Amino acid sequence: MLSDLGQCNHGTDFYFGIYQGEWWWWYGHLHITTLSPNNITYHVQNSTGAIISSGNVSIDSPATVHSDELWPWSSVHVYTNDGGLISVLVYHIDGWWCCDSIKVYQLQPYQNLAIPQYTYYAVSTNGTYDFAMSYFLITGNEDNTVVTISPTETVTISQDIQDLNSTDITIPVGGVHTVTINRLQTLQVGVDDFGDITGTSIVSDKPLTVISGHECAHVPDDYDEWECDHITVQIPPTVTWGQTFLLT
């Protein structure tokens, strides 16, 4: 079962949030495909449950979704309920900097593996500019998901994300903070000033979508040009990790 999961980015449900940068704000765009020769109907739902886009895709006719609803910190549910499978790419277009650049990442479908614990590790870099953020963004896939975060950098997190008036607290390196997140709620955690949040553990009792990266990265980090780029990837839970990989 785990091998099959690792080989396939197609599914029926995808949950994710749109990253909010310190430097740039990017609206999200979706590219939806399928391997089916027949039409598969998809729906795009916002955090309030409203359908903001619907359409059909087939192997010869992918779909692109642009919407003002795909704004930073928003959460999105893309799904199909007619028996078909779809794949979803998220991309952000930045036209404010020197030129149009595109940041793309592949979404992994929602999977409840019926296990008591899911563990994720943030992946980032330390960047080149002190104002750019190393971050991760989590999105709840199910209600009442208990999440424990142990950061590798000192971070500031809302004490209770269910309370809009909650105060922020500081979590030191190696400390822990536990929150409860519901379906389609998001929580973004990050550091700037050349910090690197890589290795931060996110442990939950139900599946999450964890997006991690850096707002303005140089790889390698001693690259001496002024240009940088946004790096983003969805982090799979450790239970789906493997030992053999193919590069093409």
Structure confidence by residue, pLDDT tens digits, 26-83: 677 899 999 999 999 999 999 888 999 999 999 999 999 988 777 777 899 999 998 8
Please name the helix (run of DSSP H) or strand (run of DSSP E) that holds residue 171, with its range, or none: strand 168-171
Closest Cα to residue 40, out of 67, 70, 79?
79
Instruction: Please determine, for residue 5, whether its predicted confidence score (pLDDT) is greater than 50.
Output: no
pLDDT digits (tens, 9 = 90+) for 96-114: 544 455 678 899 999 999 9
**The pLDDT of residue 7:** 43
Strands 145-150 and 201-204: antiparallel
Contact 147, 208 (CB under 8 A): yes
Q: Sign of torsion, CA 124 240 86 145?
A: negative
Please indicate, yes or no, whether the overall pTM of this predicted structure exceeds 0.85.
yes
Percent of the chain with pLDDT over 90: 54
Q: Which two tokens stand for residue 214?
A: 């850096």
Cβ 52 vs Cβ 45: under 8 Å: yes
Whole-number pLDDT of residue 79: 97
- Helix, strand and coil content of the chain, in percent to the nearest 5, comes to 5, 45, 50
Give backbone dihedrals phi and psi of 4, rounded to 5 degrees, phi first. -60, -40
**Is pLDDT of 136 > 60?**
yes
Q: Which pLDDT score, from 0 to 100, does residue 206 have?
A: 97
Q: What does residue 205 show for φ and ψ, rounded to 5 degrees?
A: -95, -5
- Looking at residue 99, its pLDDT comes to 46
Residue 229's pLDDT is what?
73
From the list 181, 190, 143, 139, the residue with the least C-alpha distance to 160 is 181
Mean residue pLDDT of the chain comes to: 85
| Count of alpha carbons within 13 angstroms of residue 221, beta-carbon side | 11
Percentage of the chain exceeding pLDDT 70: 85
Span 149-168, mean pLDDT?
Answer: 90
